[in-house]
Amino acid sequence: MPSERDNYTETLSEKPTIAQPTNNNTLGPWPKGSFFNELERLINYHSLQGVSNTPDFILAQYLKGCLENFDTCVRRLDEYRSP
């Protein structure tokens, strides 16, 4: 019989989706002025894409994915710890 911990581990294997650009004419899928749009502009402004030569919208998507994954982990941890 699966334990509560087994069920918890199975749900962690689900992978969140990361937003993709809506079309090639935009840098990202986010509305102008949104947090991730501003993050994209900040990466561009400071030329943080320079070392890897990765477009700023891809770096912003990566960071968005990191934040989504962290949020998922925190929520799952709360679920695991709650009685």
Model pLDDT for residues 32-72, shown as the tens digit of each residue: 888 888 998 999 899 888 878 898 889 999 999 999 999 99
Model pLDDT for residues 9-38, shown as the tens digit of each residue: 444 444 444 444 444 434 456 788 888 889
User: At residue 6, does pLDDT exceed 70?
Assistant: no
DSSP string, the chain: ---HHHHHHHHHTPPPP----SSTTSS-SSPTTSHHHHHHHHHHHTTTTTTTT--HHHHHHHHHHHHHHHHHHHHHHHHHH--
So where are the chain's domains?
30-83
